[in-house]
Amino acid sequence: MPTFFEEKQLVTPGELLAEGDYQAGENTYSEGGKIFAARIGLVDCENKKVNVVALRAFYTPKPGDIVIGSVIEVGFNGWTVDIKAPYSALLRASDVLNRPFKPQNDELSQVLDTGDLIVAKIASYDRAHDPQLTVGEPGLGKITRGQIMRVTPTKIPRVIGRKGSMISMIKQETGCQIILGLNGVVLVTGKNLADEELAMAAIQKIEDESHTTGLTDRITQLLKEEKAKREENKN
C-alpha cells in the first residue's frame, strides 16, 4: 500500500498519489485502485484519506454556507444573485419580505436593486437546480456599509483559523466587523477607513502566505506594528 508523495508536496493534476488501501479525499479521484490529484495543490494524508489542498479553485455551493453576492437581476418574484460560483443563485421575494409576495403591492427593485450586495445563506442546491438563497436569519441581508474584498475560496478556512482564532484576533485588534463569505468574498466594516484598510491588509497577507505556519503570530505582529505607526503619525 504505497504512497507516492511527501507530506505537503506540491502536486499537479494527474499525479499518482497512492495505491491500494487509501481513500480519495478532496481534489483527488480514484481509478483502478489508484488515487490521483485532480487540482494543483499541496497533498496531505489523514487516516488513510488523501487530500489535496487546492491552490487554485472556484467556489462550489453547499447548503448552509454563508455567502456574499451581488444582485444582477430583478425578476418577477425574486432576484438573481451572482455568488462567484459556476451557477448564479436565486433569492425569492417571499423570503425577503417575510410574507406572501403580491406583485400589485410590492415593487421588488425598491427592496433590492441590481448592484446591491447581500449576505445570504444557501438554502438548497443540487445538480439539477441553481442554488436558492435565504436571508431569513439574523446577520443576513442587504449590506449597507463597509468594504468587500476577494480571496481564493479554499483559503477561507485559513482566514478563520483554528476554532476561529485568526479571525477573532483580527476583529479584536482592528475593531472591525468581518463577515467571511465561503465563496471567497469578505466584508469588512469598521469605524473608519484606516481600520478597514488594516483588516484588509491582514487578510491579504493571510491569502498570500496561507501555506506557512506561525501565521497567527505574524499577523498579530503586523497589526501591532501598523497601529504603532499610526499612533506616531498622530503625535
Binding flags for other proteins, 201-220, as an x/- string (CB under 8 A): --------x-xxx-------
Contact 61, 83 (CB under 8 A): yes
Those residues whose C-beta lies under 8 Å from the C-beta of residue 209, and which sit 6 or more positions away, are 215, 218
Q: Which is nearer to other proteins, 78 or 190 (CB)?
A: 78
Instruction: Label residue 48 left, alpha or beta by phi (over 0 means left) and psi (-120 to 50 means alpha).
Output: left
- Considering the rule CB under 8 A, would residue 157 count as an interface residue with other proteins? no
**C-beta closer to other proteins: residue 85 or 179:** 85
Of 15 and 116, CB closest to other proteins: 15
User: Which of 21, 31, 46, 217 contacts other proteins by CB under 8 A?
Assistant: 31
C-alpha cell at 213: 505556519
- Interface residue with other proteins among 18, 35, 50, 54 (CB under 8 A) is 54
State the DSSP H helix or E strand holding residue 232, giving kind and residue range, or none if neither. Answer: helix 215-234
Does residue 79 touch other proteins according to CB under 8 A?
Answer: no
Site membership for other proteins, residue 162 (CB under 8 A) = no
With CB under 8 A as the contact rule, the residue among 86, 103, 139, 164 that binds other proteins is 86
**55 near other proteins, judged by CB under 8 A:** yes
Contacts for 150 with CB less than 8 Å, ≥ 6 apart: 84, 184, 185, 186
Q: What is the DSSP letter of 153?
A: G
* Residue whose CB is less far from other proteins, 7 or 46: 7
Q: Which three cell numbers stand for residue 152?
A: 481564493
Site string for other proteins, 56-75 (x = CB under 8 A): xxx-----------------
Query: What does the alpha-carbon distance between residue 186 and residue 217 come to, in Å, rounded to a whole number?
Result: 22
What's the min distance (Å) between Cβ of 16 and other proteins? 6
CB count in 10 Å sphere of residue 9: 15
Q: Does position 98 bind other proteins by CB under 8 A?
A: no
Nearest to 154 by CA among 125, 184, 178, 181: 184
Residues making contact with other proteins (CB under 8 A): 7-10, 12-16, 27, 29, 31, 36, 38-40, 42, 54-58, 86-88, 127-128, 209, 211-213
